[in-house]
Structure 1
Amino acid sequence: MPLREWGISGSPPGSVSGALTSRLRESGTGRLERIKNAKPFSEFLTDGFGRKHTYLRISVTERCNLRCVYCMPAEGVPLSPPAHLLSTPEILEIARLFVSQGVTKIRLTGGEPTVRKDIVELVEELGKLRSIGLRELAITSNGIALHRKLQRMVDAGLTGLNLSLDTLDPFQFQIMTRRKGLETVLKTIDTALGMGFGEGGSGKVLKINSVVMKGVNDHEIVDFVEMTRDKPIEVRFIEYMPFDGNKWSKNKMVSYNDMVSRIKETHPTLQKLASQRPNDTSKTWGVPGFRGRVGFITSMTHNFCGSCNRLRITGDGNLKVCLFGEAEVSLRDMMRKYRGRDLEVGGVGEAAGGREEMESELLQVIGKAVGNKKEKHAGMGELENMKNRPMILIGG
């Protein structure tokens, strides 16, 4: 379907160039000092295989305004009672603790993060963690309600936006999400691009996540690639993954190799690009001359466990060290053991046993969970039959 249009050396000391040279020297000195004084990476966030976990994904809600077929069953899922979910102070406490130990990137997930009433205020508070080492603050959203809140989030320090969009066909959108809303999502993409997301040097990253399902939306792969012709975005195709209630089968999955082959039929010059980061989950490709790129998240056929640096916090406060792992440990329960909680207002009282004691115990539990992380997740056949939460209760 057609897509919608939417010279420094030798400068005198008092000159602008001279001032720039001076600042560059100072910044270089500053970098050397930071390297010299850098602390060893936290043992609590380093697993038995030497993987350092610098990326924390926090689910801020289990609720969503869509009902995507790969995320939850048609009948929905039982949600946690509100009192079982992390309060805003608890989220901030956990985030601060992880950043203090070396986490440099936080992503807010759900459910749909924008249905949380205080999501903008939460982003604002998390943005303040830059003072202790946070470098990137991102959100994954379906885009339905985001465009009204995005500017305030950017002003608060949001640097990354992943939008979930699995089809460019309005009718198919209703089938896959069980709701209307395609035009709104496209509007959100335009809004983000208008704010400079995706532009080189802006520091704001825009990615489109598309779960590919055989016989459902796999015929649109090339249409999504076409989006990257004129837009500085990265479209990432995700292999369909098994979670409770989504009726996964191998016959519904389109593999990485199959997707690349299909794209090359239309764009034979498609070429693989060098990875931008050592911990990238996406295998990145591009069509020469196109402004954007395409990526492939290949959890099922080519796992990236060896470079995994991610940890997850579920909406009800459990630490999950592997997306496909069954093991979880509650940080919420431990925090509430130390801190009185007013359930009426969602506040957190002072530590009964003291902040230091609470943090020490939290770190011990976190360190043990991370230390027990497996070298890699199970194979495709085992994952299909493994007990796991529905995706909406994990947090993307």
Structure 2
Amino acid sequence: MTQNENLEALSDAGVAVWLDDLSRDRIRSGNLQQLVDEHSVVGVTTNPSIFAAAISGSESYDDQLHAMAVRGVSVEEALRTITAADVRDACDLLAPVAQRTGRDGRVSLEVAPGLAHETDATAAEAAHLWWLVDRPNLFIKIPATVEGLPAITETIANGISVNVTLIFSLERYKAVMEAYLAGLEKRAEDPDASFEGIESVASFFVSRVDTEIDKRLDDAGADPSLKGKAGVANAQLAYQAYEEVFSSDRWAALEARGASKQRPLWASTGVKNPDYSDVLYLSELVAPDTVNTMPEKTMQAFADHGQVGRPVQETYADAEKVMQSVRDAGVDLDDVFAVLETEGVQKFIDAWDELSGSVKEQLQDKK
């Protein structure tokens, strides 16, 4: 089938197009396959909010819920059974993409967000979810909290592919790359260990940065022209950091053994402010070996009128000026990023609780 030319151009520029959504209806209706065939989609990300919307808004889960209800399974087991089934089916659908590209065709499943500050529990759940879905093109999502970093290292060392999520600051992003390299090095201590099939992406959030910084710029009475620029600039500087780390001698030694780079993934790319271009976080974040995971609405907007913008590698000086101007305006960036991480974890916990409540109610109704 013919791919949309705008999304194909984005893909040709080095950006892997991933869908930030999944549901059983999307799989069964053929919609996901259509997006693969016509919109250059080569991956899927999920989170508790996405599953909450999928399960509460569809009858496609009724038979499975009924079967689990009469068996008397726990809410936790029901949640994992349902989400693992959808992710497994999506992995199977994307398996040809994985075989063709070697890197994409991946589907992400997140550890329970309530474990975000528990290292050992996060690593243990990552291993369990990897076993439960049992597909080589799976990503386990682990939050980039301080406690999540050693769990990332342990999970990579165990040969499990990881999508590191909720990254907001350059400092934390560099720590995430360090955790990834440390995991590969730990695995390499075994001379018989292989890096084959191990992939990782680092999900660097964009639009939420603008939302928080724009609010603070307004509160400070700063120049309005600064608004809507920090999210992109912050991500552009993240790519600069990526280039530095993955051109180092340390990385070269791992690459020589067959390791794959941990690609930057632009997350939270749906525009929150209607005054901004609805394709801002796609057009302005174009660089080789990156992933952009987007809501379908944003994807369709780019398909309609999106254009590939200036390469990220040409923007570093301008991006640094933007971030310095934001600091000069009185915005405490360290506090911004701390607030965003705390809120990000809490949002996923709230969505997980909502999902648990919905599944519990439906299990009771299906008895």
Taking structure 2 as the reference length, the TM-score comes to: 0.43
Which structure has the bigger radius of gyration? Answer: 1
Identify, as 1 or 2, the structure richer in strand.
1
Identify, as 1 or 2, the structure richer in helix.
2
